[in-house]
Structure 1
Amino acid sequence: MVKFGPNYANQLRKRQGRLGDTWLMDEAVIVTVQGERRYLWRAVDQDDNIIDILVQKRKDKQAATRFFRKMLKHQGWSPRRMVTDKLRSYGAARREIMPSVVHDQDRYSNNRAEASHRHTRQHERQMKGFKSPGQAQRFLSVHSQVHNLFRLGRHLLKACHYRMFRSRAFSTWAQVACAC
């Protein structure tokens, strides 16, 4: 994971293509990084594809700005609309970095982003916490790209289409895993 994981994530990110134009963002607390409180910033698009993840110490404007810059660097374009909770650092960072983006802060709008933390919590429990912030960042970045590849929305597909998409995901994984 440590040696090949970032290479896999970069290869998958290159093959992924353009994601949705509405980004839903949220931050959650990861308590078990060496016993210190860390915040996990996560962005998903309207189709629940994970755009990016960043582990940071704070929830201030500087942290939000760093997260936005990282997302824009990886994506190469800004969204049409961004949905967040009412944390003020989102608005301040958006005004500085992406002033033309529509910012939606309705009460229940970012529930999809909040629900995306569930899988991270499960992995955190199974691993009995993360050893360091760097290890948490590496694991979560790689896991998000692999999750995007294999999350197919089975309940929305017929069985024949699901099998086709699943085999396509495995062939993509084989190409990425052999490319390193």
Structure 2
Amino acid sequence: ESVRFWWMRFGPLFASEIRKARAQRMRCYSNWQWHLDEVFVKINGETHYMWRAVDHEGEVLEAFVSKRRDRRAALKFLKKLMKRYGRPEQIVTDKLRSYGAAMKEIGNADRQRTGRWLNNRVENSHLPFRRRERAMSRFRRIRSLQKFAAVHASIFNLFNSERSLSSRHIFKRNRAVALAEWRGLGAA
């Protein structure tokens, strides 16, 4: 309930600002590898699919909800992603044939990589989303899922700082910077 209250009060304001800032920063770096995957999500007992894209550092780029898991949905997701971030050098996917068909239509078929454990980065990025989904007792509408996924990705990216890759001193400094940015958005 507290998450829903927070979302209704602050979500739309913060999410749009955080996403704009993140997208602007991401354009500065080379997008050399993306990981794409889809997650099964139940909405009122009906299965829907949330397509997710994660970059090579674990930052969630985009989340897109659709009723189907076909070429058309994959194509729409890829176009939306490339419009915002440009073209990557590699796109790592699972062996779902919809990705191949959509990439062939875009002209990215030569950039697609599939393999047994290549897509672990995006599979592991589903876990925080699943934890929040369970805490919220699932979703009732596609629109609320889409809004939640966008906000969750933005906030997760802000506070995610790969603890295992840095010393305690650097981790604490990065965490303080993230909290300062968060408080700055709250004060605005």
Structure 1: gaps of 5 or more residues? none
**Separation in structure 2 between the aligned mates of residue 82 and residue 3 of structure 1, nearest angstrom:** 36
What's the C-alpha RMSD, in Å, of the aligned pairs? 1.7
* Alpha-carbon distance in 2 for matches of 1:115, 1:21: 19
Q: How many residues align?
A: 177
2:164 corresponds to 1:155: yes
The aligned residue for residue 76 of structure 2 is 66
Superimposed CA distance per residue, residues 39-85 of structure 1 (whole angstroms, 9 cap, x where no aligned partner): 1111101111101101111110110011112212322x111100001
Does the CA contact (< 8 Å) of 2:100 and 2:109 recur in 1? no
Report sequence identity in percent: 37
Q: 1:48 to 1:136 in 2, by over 3 A?
A: same
Partner residue in 1 for 2:59? 49
- The structure whose residues are more often helix, as a share, is 2
- Counterparts of 1:5-154 in structure 2, within 5 Å, are 5-16=11-22, 17-18=25-26, 20-31=31-42, 33-75=43-85, 77-99=86-108, 102-154=111-163
CA offset digits 1:107-146 (Å, max 9, x no partner): 2211221121111211111111112110011001100010
Give the letter aligned to residue 39 of structure 1.
Y
TM-score of the aligned structures, taking structure 1 as reference length: 0.91
Please tell me whether the aligned partners of residues 35 and 93 of structure 2 are also in contact (alpha carbons under 8 angstroms): yes
Question: What is the CA–CA distance in structure 1 between the aligned matches of 2:82 and 2:186, rounded to whole Å?
Answer: 26
After superposing on structure 2, the runs of 4+ consecutive aligned residues of structure 1 that deviate more than 6 Å are none
| Structure 1 range deviating more: 15-24 or 128-137 | 15-24
Contact kept, 8 Å, 1:2 with 1:138, in 2: the verdict is no
Cα distance in structure 2, aligned partners of 1:15 and 1:148:
11
Q: How many Å separate the matches in 2 of 1:58 and 1:98?
A: 22
After superposing the two structures, state which structure 1 stretch, 161-170 or 13-22, moved more. Answer: 13-22
Alignment partners' CA distance in 2, 1:114 and 1:8: 26
The answer to whether the 8 A contact 2:50-2:64 is kept is yes
Give the Å deviation of 1:177. Answer: 2.7
